[in-house]
Amino acid sequence: MIVLMEPTATEGQIADVVERLIAAGVSMQRLDGDRVTIAATGGNTAAAGDSGVDGMAGVAAVIAGSGGTPMVTARESPGNGGVATLATGPAARPERGFQVRGRWIGGTGLFFAAGPCSVEDPETMAAIAAEVAAAGGTALRAGAYKPRSSPYSFQGMGEAGLATARSAADAHGLLLVSEVLDATQIPIATRYVDILQVGARNMYNTSLLRELGRSRRPVLLKRGLAATIDEWLSAAEYIVSAGNPRVILCERGIRTFETATRNTLDLNAVPVVRERTHLPILVDPSHGTGLRTYVRPMARAAIACGADGLLIEVHTDPDRALSDAAQTIDPLTLRQVIRDAEAIRAAGEVDDAYSRATIG
Ligand code: PEP
Ligand code: MN
């Protein structure tokens, strides 16, 4: 359970709420974001519910969440537009999805982020961005800070890469998604990037997550290599509870005993996440399979099971991509992937209506 204070709540009002919770025997944690939230911790949420803080001066809402992730799995929680537009009416799921610079993610349409694994030279980036736009993409993706398994692999182009990717995206009206590896990169990246990516290897980096929570920039949170869905949602909770409601989850495959593919794309996660949280979810079949021939079939499956869109690695000359060449598709395949995805989404809507009409 969390107590969400009004943005205008005074320190005195916050202290009164804390005192009331202490009197009820509730342990708690105070989180200072856009506004103060007080999260009841330690399994004593029933006492917190009975404490009567609901209705105290300065309290905007008391949110009954399940487990340790009240802000991302709450029946009422910050939805579109975030904490400031919290619905305090009857318990209802918040609206799914939100806008990033006017483009919806998690709404009725699909969201496609595509581009090279790493930012490359300006000519290559310009050519790839043109292909992404022509295929119907929403955002250009490209890493300038690369979390490589080997310290001897290409580590990315840093700020110069961000500038290159930004101009390629702008030339075609695309949003830009790019990864930050640590909190010091956030101020630099926010000068160029519309959506800050947290890579699988950083999903447990709680100080980075908190810092991203203080940022106003939407965050694309990849699932950790061996993270359970609960742990992934807890990582999202770090960001949302620190004041940033615009988190996009991205399933990118998990480590299993299987070696025929780089990872095992866990599409079970899509309906599970859709049931448990209002946050939008993308699927990344590039890292999920590691091999370009499997990207298109798994992209189809991802949309069929309810993903809000895809994150795809594409290059005008895939074999020469600076990183992740084996899983990088060519522009023609990207067009097919996006066309398939739109057709599957449309068929799903028809099928729902058809089933209701004919079966009930
Ligand atoms: C990437 O998107 O290029 C990337 C490094 O992904 P992940 O963190 O999922 O491995
Ligand atoms: Mn990659």
- Give yes or no for a contact between 336 and 139, defined as CB atoms under 8 angstroms apart: no
Helix (H) or strand (E) holding 296: helix 295-304
Ligand 2 center to 343 CA (angstroms)? 27
The preferred substitution site among 119, 141, 197 for testing ligand 1, maximizing ligand atoms within 8 Å of CB, is 197
Ligand 1 center to 82 CA (angstroms)? 27
Ligand 2 center to 149 CA (angstroms)? 11
The preferred substitution site among 284, 289, 295 for testing ligand 1, maximizing ligand atoms within 8 Å of CB, is 284
**Using CA atoms, how far apart are residues 175 and 194, in angstroms rounded to an integer?**
6
Q: One digit per residue, pLDDT tens: the chain, 360 residues?
A: 778 888 899 999 999 999 998 888 887 778 776 678 887 765 566 666 778 888 899 998 887 655 678 788 864 444 433 332 333 333 344 578 899 999 999 988 999 999 999 999 999 999 999 999 999 999 999 999 998 989 999 999 999 999 999 999 999 999 999 999 999 999 999 999 999 999 999 999 999 999 999 998 999 999 999 999 999 999 999 999 888 999 999 999 999 999 999 999 999 999 999 999 999 999 999 999 999 999 999 999 999 999 999 999 999 999 999 999 999 999 999 999 999 999 999 998 888 888 888 887
Ligand 1 center to 47 CA (angstroms)? 42
Q: Using a cut of 0.75, tell me whether the model's pTM lies above it.
A: yes
Side-chain-side CA neighbours of 360 within 13 Å: the count stands at 0
Structure tokens, 46: 């029933």
Residues with CB under 6 A from ligand 1: 117, 143, 147, 199-201, 222, 252, 287
Torsion of CA 181, 184, 185, 186, to 10 degrees: 100
